[in-house]
């Protein structure tokens, strides 16, 4: 069983890697053989060379995008969790406010971003607000469901032992909500990056900040396609790292007890 | 139905002997008109082991939850130690007047180790850490779970989870223990062993126990008295004394007396199911 597990681990790394290398190789050969101009499709080698050559510009932009992403993520988590706590306090509050949370979720951010950018003077704050709006809904809905999905038997047990409201909240509701909360975090982390990039696109080159979306726009105007690809790769890698970070956090918090994080399935 | 009327049972003398649970015409009708339990009269004396036996839907769990104060009765009232149930649960832990409830499932907190789960009632009551830990150790020893205090519930078998659940009930040193089909989900072998353990605990700790089950064998083996219940509507049919001294050994399970008790109970249940045919609801599939 251990060798099978080991083989599974190796396969998990090797199989996607093989696909990646094959695609890159095919891409490279295709560009070389058909002599595709680099302003249409650059070869992967050229993209990497550009990434290294333009690292100063790109890394500065990456930091700006990441700053917006993290600010948006943290505010989405804090505000979203607070809203979820508010929702579970009373049915009336939830019933009256939940439709508006949904409204926020279904309105395309590209449609309201220009308004926000006009209304909020500070461009950084405007971008963060846009990205927060994109990322907040999964935090609200997951945490609310989590705080509500308490084992009724355990609730009876707490009540029989005359637990106070605070004891029920801290010893029962919050631990019960954690798996849902971390599920929300995973989705929100990706959405805050997407939100940050989209908001920057909408703000366009007029914005003071020069994040990765700005680099993509400029590179597009200048037909500097290798740099466009390089910026794209940075966004993707940032998204993957963010996701892995959330997986690690959730493992850290739930690894001992929750079904979703157990590795030794018995 | 006092213990004194059965000298052959040789129960230890009890200073606070008398009626512990007094169900006075308590019944449950839900707002939509569903009658879960017709008004019941039932008195349980100190140190009795009373089993509520019946098919699903006979209201045995409902009755137990009303005794525990988890469900308010819609008719009548439930008295514990001569006080109305709700008043008893309001006044925290007067010595000699504590009740504990063991649920159908182990109902353990998955994020907490066995020690944390068993200590929960003490934590909620604000008992100091050192004192609480000592009492947890005692409770774990009582159910045979020493050495498992650092385990998470998922690392235990179903039977061991149930033991942890019983330890959690015992940690408050209750006088009245209510068990709602506690071993229903376990296999026959594990259940038999846990039955024997519960009986032993009841005997050694001078508990008063009300035990809900749908197993005739379990009811006969454990009880001093069996309350036979029937469904549609949920009601009490009859009470049957199990006239066998304690401590009871495994030999009792294969004795003639055991079989005749089982026969009597199963005839009562069959009779009730047959007479239920007169009920217009009984014929309709549910």
Question: What pLDDT digit, counting tens, does each position of A206-246 carry?
Answer: 555 688 888 898 888 888 899 999 999 999 999 999 999 99
The whole-angstrom distance between B87's CA and the closest CA on chain A is 13
Give the nearest partner residue to B111 out of A156, A162, A175, using CB atoms.
A175
The whole-angstrom distance between B74's CA and the closest CA on chain A is 19
| pLDDT reading at B90 higher than 50 | no
The answer to whether residue B162 sits within a structural domain is yes
Q: Please check whether residues B124 and B235 belong to one and the same domain.
A: no
Report the CATH number that the domain containing residue B251 is assigned in CATH.
3.40.50.300
Give the nearest partner residue to B70 out of A156, A178, A258, using CB atoms.
A156
Which residues from chain A sit within 8 angstroms of residue B154, using beta carbons?
257, 259, 262
CB of B71 within 8 Å of any CB in chain A?
no
Q: Please check whether residues B243 and B168 belong to one and the same domain.
A: no
Which residues from chain B sit within 8 angstroms of residue A159, using beta carbons?
70
User: Can you give the pLDDT at residue B2?
Assistant: 39
The answer to whether residue B148 sits within a structural domain is yes
Q: Please check whether residues B213 and B274 belong to one and the same domain.
A: yes
Which residues, numbered 162 to 201 in chain B, qualify as contacts with chain A under a Cβ-Cβ cut-off of 8 Å?
172
Q: Please check whether residues B135 and B182 belong to one and the same domain.
A: no
User: Can you give the pLDDT at residue B7?
Assistant: 40
| pLDDT reading at B12 higher than 60 | no
Q: Please check whether residues B228 and B161 belong to one and the same domain.
A: no
Which residues from chain A sit within 8 angstroms of residue B70, using beta carbons?
156, 159-160
| pLDDT reading at B94 higher than 80 | no
Q: Please check whether residues B184 and B202 belong to one and the same domain.
A: yes
Q: Which of A70-74, A171-175, B277-281 has the lowest mean pLDDT?
A: B277-281
CB of A232 within 8 Å of any CB in chain B?
no
Q: Please check whether residues B94 and B204 belong to one and the same domain.
A: yes
User: Can you give the pLDDT at residue B13?
Assistant: 45
User: Can you give the pLDDT at residue A77?
Assistant: 96
The answer to whether residue B179 sits within a structural domain is yes
Give the nearest partner residue to B109 out of A154, A161, A259, using CB atoms.
A154
**B208 or B285, which is more confident?**
B208
User: Can you give the pLDDT at residue B95?
Assistant: 61
Give the DSSP letter string of B21-76: EEEEEEEEE-TTS-EEEEEEEEEEETT-EEEEE--TTSSHHHHHHHHHTSS--SEE
Asked if A157's CB is within 8 angstroms of B120's CB, the reply is yes
Q: Please check whether residues B249 and B123 belong to one and the same domain.
A: no
Asked if B105's CB is within 8 angstroms of A161's CB, the reply is no
Averaged pLDDT for residues A7-32: 89
Number of A/B CB contacts below 8 angstroms equals: 51
Chosen domain end from B140, B173, B206 = B173
User: Can you give the pLDDT at residue A235?
Assistant: 93
Averaged pLDDT for residues B158-175: 88
Q: Please check whether residues B155 and B27 belong to one and the same domain.
A: no
User: Can you give the pLDDT at residue B276?
Assistant: 59
pTM of the model: 0.78
Which residues from chain A sit within 8 angstroms of residue B66, using beta carbons?
none
Chosen domain end from B129, B145, B173 = B173
User: Can you give the pLDDT at residue B241?
Assistant: 87
CB of A151 within 8 Å of any CB in chain B?
yes
Question: Could you tell me the pLDDT band of residue B279, with boundaries at 50, 70 and 90?
Answer: very low
Question: Could you tell me the pLDDT band of residue A75, with boundaries at 50, 70 and 90?
Answer: very high
The whole-angstrom distance between B172's CA and the closest CA on chain A is 10
The answer to whether residue B265 sits within a structural domain is yes
User: Can you give the pLDDT at residue A94?
Assistant: 86
**B173 or A259, which is more confident?**
B173
User: Can you give the pLDDT at residue A239?
Assistant: 92
**A69 or B243, which is more confident?**
A69
Going from the C-alpha of B163 to that of each of A196, B102, B143, B154, B216, the distances in angstroms are: 52, 10, 6, 13, 22
Containing domain of residue B120, as a range?
106-173
Q: Please check whether residues B186 and B252 belong to one and the same domain.
A: yes
3-state SS track over chain A: CHHHHHHHHHHHHHHHHHHHHHHHHHHHHHHHHCCCCCCCCCCHHHHHHHHHHCHHHHHHHHHHHHHHHHHHHHHHHHHHHHHHHHHHHCHHHHHHHHHHHHHHHHCCHHHHHHHHHHHCCCHHHHHHHHHHHHHHHHHHHHHHHHHHCCCHHHHHHHHHCCCCHHHHHHHHHHHHHHHHHHHHHHHHHHHHHHHHHHHHHHHHHHCCCCCHHHHHHHHHHCCCHHHHHHHHHHHHHHHHHHHHHHHHHHHHHHCCCCHHHCCCCC
| pLDDT reading at A18 higher than 90 | yes
The whole-angstrom distance between B285's CA and the closest CA on chain A is 29
Give the nearest partner residue to A158 out of B89, B124, B152, using CB atoms.
B124
Asked if A167's CB is within 8 angstroms of B124's CB, the reply is yes
Q: What is the pLDDT of residues B23-44, one digit of tens each?
A: 888 888 888 888 888 888 888 8
Chosen domain end from B135, B153, B173 = B173
Q: What is the pLDDT of residues B199-234, one digit of tens each?
A: 888 988 888 999 999 888 888 988 999 998 888 788
Question: Could you tell me the pLDDT band of residue A98, with boundaries at 50, 70 and 90?
Answer: confident
The answer to whether residue B238 sits within a structural domain is yes
What is the percent of chain B with per-residue pLDDT over 70, rounded to a whole number?
Answer: 86
Q: What is the pLDDT of residues A112-125, one digit of tens each?
A: 888 888 888 888 88
User: Can you give the pLDDT at residue A88?
Assistant: 87
The answer to whether residue B193 sits within a structural domain is yes
Query: Around Cβ A124, how many Cβ atoms within 10 Å?
Result: 15
The whole-angstrom distance between B231's CA and the closest CA on chain A is 24
| pLDDT reading at B162 higher than 80 | yes
CB of B264 within 8 Å of any CB in chain A?
no
Asked if B125's CB is within 8 angstroms of A161's CB, the reply is yes
| pLDDT reading at B111 higher than 70 | yes
Q: Which of B81-85, B93-97, B247-251 has the lowest mean pLDDT?
A: B93-97
Q: Please check whether residues B57 and B191 belong to one and the same domain.
A: yes
CB of A175 within 8 Å of any CB in chain B?
yes
Asked if B154's CB is within 8 angstroms of A262's CB, the reply is yes
Question: Could you tell me the pLDDT band of residue B88, with boundaries at 50, 70 and 90?
Answer: low
| pLDDT reading at B87 higher than 90 | no
What ipTM, to 2 d.p.?
Answer: 0.80
CB of A258 within 8 Å of any CB in chain B?
yes
The answer to whether residue B156 sits within a structural domain is yes
User: Can you give the pLDDT at residue A105?
Assistant: 82
User: Can you give the pLDDT at residue A265?
Assistant: 45
User: Can you give the pLDDT at residue B117?
Assistant: 93
The answer to whether residue B7 sits within a structural domain is no
What is the percent of chain B with per-residue pLDDT over 90, rounded to a whole number?
Answer: 15
User: Can you give the pLDDT at residue A4?
Assistant: 64
The whole-angstrom distance between A215's CA and the closest CA on chain B is 46
CB of A174 within 8 Å of any CB in chain B?
no
Question: Could you tell me the pLDDT band of residue A205, with boundaries at 50, 70 and 90?
Answer: low
How many distinct structural domains can be found in chain B? 2
Q: Please check whether residues B261 and B180 belong to one and the same domain.
A: yes
Question: Could you tell me the pLDDT band of residue B91, with boundaries at 50, 70 and 90?
Answer: very low
């Amino acid at each position: 069983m251990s060798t099978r597990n080991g083989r599974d681990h190796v396969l998990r790394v090797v199989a996607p890697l093989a696909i990646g290398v094959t695609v890159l190789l095919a891409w490279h050969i295709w560009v070389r053989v058909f002599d595709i101009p680099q302003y249409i499709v650059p070869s992967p080698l050229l993209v990497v060379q550009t990434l290294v050559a333009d690292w100063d510009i790109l890394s500065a932009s990456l930091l700006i995008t990441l700053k917006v992403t993290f600010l948006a993520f943290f505010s989405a988590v804090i505000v979203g969790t607070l809203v979820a706590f508010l929702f579970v306090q009373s049915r009336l509050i939830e019933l009256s406010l939940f439709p508006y949370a949904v409204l926020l979720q279904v309105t395309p951010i590209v449609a309201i971003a220009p308004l926000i950018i006009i209304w909020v003077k500070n461009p950084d704050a405007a971008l963060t607000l846009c990205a927060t709006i994109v990322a907040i809904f999964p935090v609200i809905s997951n945490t609310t469901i989590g705080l509500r999905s308490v084992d009724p038997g355990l609730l009876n047990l707490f009540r029989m032992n005359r637990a106070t409201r605070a004891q029920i909240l801290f010893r029962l509701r919050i631990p019960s909500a954690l798996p849902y909360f971390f599920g929300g975090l995973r989705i929100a982390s990706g959405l805050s990056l997407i939100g940050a990039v989209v908001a920057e696109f909408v703000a366009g080159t007029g914005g003071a900040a020069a994040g990765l979306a700005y680099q993509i726009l400029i590179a597009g105007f200048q037909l500097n396609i290798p740099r466009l690809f390089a910026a794209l790769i940075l966004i993707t890698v940032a998204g993957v790292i963010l996701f892995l970070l959330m997986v690690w956090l959730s493992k850290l918090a739930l690894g001992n007890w929750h079904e979703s994080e157990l590795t030794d399935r018995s | 139905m006092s213990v004194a009327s059965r000298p052959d049972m040789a129960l230890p003398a009890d200073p606070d002997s008398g009626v512990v649970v007094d169900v006075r015409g308590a019944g449950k009708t839900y707002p939509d008109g569903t009658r879960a339990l017709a008004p019941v009269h039932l008195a349980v004396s100190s140190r009795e082991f009373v089993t509520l036996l019946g098919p699903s839907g006979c209201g045995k769990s409902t009755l137990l939850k009303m005794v525990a104060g988890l469900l308010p009765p819609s008719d009548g009232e439930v008295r514990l130690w001569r006080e109305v149930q709700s008043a008893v649960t309001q006044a925290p832990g007067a010595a000699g007047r504590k009740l504990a409830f063991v649920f159908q499932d182990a109902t353990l907190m998955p994020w907490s180790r066995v020690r944390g789960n068993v200590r929960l009632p003490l934590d909620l009551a604000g008992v100091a850490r050192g004192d609480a830990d000592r009492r947890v150790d005692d409770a774990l020893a009582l159910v045979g779970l020493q050495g498992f205090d650092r385990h998470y519930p998922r690392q235990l078998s179903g039977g061991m989870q149930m033991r942890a659940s019983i330890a959690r009930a015992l940690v408050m040193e209750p006088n009245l223990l209510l068990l709602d089909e506690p071993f229903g989900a376990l296999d026959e072998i594990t259940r038999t062993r846990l039955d024997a353990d519960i009986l032993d605990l009841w005997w050694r700790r001078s508990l008063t126990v009300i035990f809900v089950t749908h197993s005739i064998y379990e009811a006969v083996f454990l009880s001093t008295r069996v309350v036979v219940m029937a469904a549609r509507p949920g009601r009490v049919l009859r009470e049957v004394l199990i006239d066998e001294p304690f401590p009871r050994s495994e030999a009792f399970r294969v004795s003639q007396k055991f079989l005749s008790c089982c026969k009597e109970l199963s005839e009562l249940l069959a009779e009730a199911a047959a007479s239920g045919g007169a009920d217009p609801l009984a014929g309709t599939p549910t």
